[in-house]
Structure 1
Amino acid sequence: ELLFSLFGALAQYERALTRERVMAGLAAAKRRGRQGGRPPMIDAETLERITAALDGGASKASVCRTFKVPRSTLLGTLARIGWAAPRKV
């Protein structure tokens, strides 16, 4: 039982060291300008065209078909940038 406790303590210590090294590496990469994460599926130029089409009255379904973008991706991207549909009067 003492041996198991010792191995457990060593494993926790090793895990803490690994976590420290990973966090330091991520911080260094961030300082170098590395953003990390998955690249966006819709680039800035396409996003401008999409929002212009939506502001012009196009439906989200037609925009998805035109730009060959999945609906979930479109909705997620619009939510991320804070786009709100124009109000109909």
Structure 2
Amino acid sequence: MRAAVRYLAERASAAELSAEARGVLESEPAALGGGSALTVLNGFAAEPPPVPVISPSCGKGWATPVTGAQFLSAVARDAIELFGGGRVQGGGV
């Protein structure tokens, strides 16, 4: 999954990503410093997510096309839910 996210991130157009997200992707991993994983995760989560839709048969999905930035936003939001669990509180980090 990590490779798939990286692949999409590298190919997302500059117009799809915020300046902060582009800067993180263009940085060398060693140059990101302490706390960078949270910065990256929060930056992608801040991007607009895919638009949810429901089909006539009550199935759920995303409106197409889904951009790379939207996909990364959804993955980052899921990661926050997964790793933050019940500890995520309002009000910032």
Q: TM-score, normalised by structure 1?
A: 0.26
Which structure is larger by alpha-carbon Rg, 1 or 2?
A: 1
More strand by share: 2
Q: TM-score, normalised by structure 2?
A: 0.25
More relative contact order, 1 or 2 (CA 8 Å, 6+ apart): 2
